[in-house]
Structure formats: C-alpha cells, structure tokens
Amino acid sequence: MSSLLSITDIKDDVKDILELAVKIKSGDVEDKPLDGKTLAMIFQKSSTRTRVSFDVGMYQLGGRAIFLSSNDLQMGRGEPIKDTAKVLSRFVDGIMIRAIKHSDVEELAKYSDVPVINGLTDLEHPCQALADALTIKEHFGQCEGKKICFVGDGNNVSNSLLLIAPLLKMDISIACPKGYEPREDIVKTSLEYASENNTEVTITDDIGVALQNVDVVYTDVWVSMGDEAEQKQRELDFAPFQVNSDLMSLANDGAIFMHCLPAIRGQEVTSEVIDGEQSVVYDEAENRMHAQKAVLYYYLKA
C-alpha cells in the first residue's frame, strides 16, 4: 500500500487494520516497531486530536514525529507541492497532512516517495472513520450487522463513514436537510460496496426513516472549518436535526452516541446526550490514537 488518502485505498485491508488496532491497543505487538522512523506532520488547519494522537502514537511505536504548520513550510510561501513532496521524501519515512483541499493531498501523494496519510481534508477523514469503527467494534463486540445513522451535514466525516460502513457489513443512513447531502460520487461508491456486502445505504431528510433500527447515532458540527460564511443559514437549516433525547429515543435500546469532536453543546447535540450514559465520545477520541498507530504500523513498518 502506498498512501492512505481515502477509505477506498484500504478497501481490502480495513478489517486487517482494525484487528491490528485491537492488538496494538492491548499491547499484543512487538516493542517499538517503528524505531528509527520519522513522520512529518503538516497542518494547514488547527487540530487537537489529530496532532496529539499522531505525535504520541508515533512516540509509543518507537519513532518520532515532526510538527510542521503551513507557516513553517516554504509551501506556505508558494513553493510547489511537488517540490515539498520530493524534498520531505528524502528526510522522513512518512507524511501525515491535515489539509484544506483534498486535491493538495492527492498532489502531495503523487510526487512523494514515502507514504502519505490523510489526517483530514474537505472530502474525507479516513482516520476518524477507522477510530469510529474501532469504537463500535469494542462496544458491541463486532461491526457486522450493526446500523449507524449520521445526522447532519454531508461532510468529510459522513463521506468516510459512508465508505467504511458497508466494507464492515454495517448498514448506514444519512439524515440531512435537502441541499446538504454527501457528494454523489461518494454515495455511488458506498452503494457499490453495499451491494457487494449485502448492506443498506439510505440518504434522507426524514429523521424518523433514518433512525429505524439504529445502533449508533453520530453527528458533527453544523459549520465545518471553511463554511463560516454560511453559519447563520446553516444554523437555521440544521436546527430540526439536533441530536437530543427525543431523537435518541428513536434509536434501538442500547444505542450509543458518537461525535468526532469538537462539539458545540446546544447546537448539533444537547449536553444531556453528549454527556449522558449513551455517549462514547471520549472512547472514540482515544481510539484515534490506536487506529492511527495501526495505520502507521501498516504503512511504515516495512
């Protein structure tokens, strides 16, 4: 495997990576398998979970991580992405990038001679989806046969969930206002995966339909980074899609609540839900590190 830009890049390996994450979290791998390895971490967007989880994860695997903000790099002053990729490839064993544009990450990977890992773009958030899957697997004992409902914007998080769910034989529904649906190409690929794995994909603006037989209720902020100019309109459009106790009551008994964080209590989710017994958001946040350690092991161990 060369790079992880999308869940589609690990279509045939996602189950193996999750099993590896379970082993790594339990300590059932060799000590410091990435001794001597270095990861460059490029950040064009601010971060808490991505930065700390990759940094600590790389350290625990025996390697080291170098934080590089866009202001630290000549790329931020106009150096071509191609040159940045070629130069960094001479210094490090892998590159993780949290970028504004997915196309920039694709270009970086095109010219890089070392693996590139997508830490978030405007299109996908594959590492988050892996952490989410690991959390579901831990809570229920398996992913297969479960149903996840994402409530809110058809954004990068929902895109990656749409791709990973059918690969793990989970049903998935997206409940979103009209005009905020996930990208058509992502939905098309998700439906193809669902057909191959005998699962269901539903995109609807009817919350009641979306929440039928759901084991996991998932939401994200209404205004993602880059969408601030649309804030007032989005708050109006998404208000009926707030995850509250009434909405959670429509899910299965024993359903859990998930959120990739950061969250705005009182907007996309009420405090009663995110701080309640059904919430697993902190387990989910911790699992970013374990899932990403599996990704780092998979890509950098050789």
Active site residues: 98, 125, 128, 220, 260, 288
Q: How far apart are the first and last CA of the chain?
A: 11
Beta bridge partners of 98: 43, 120
Residue whose token pair is 């405007």? 122
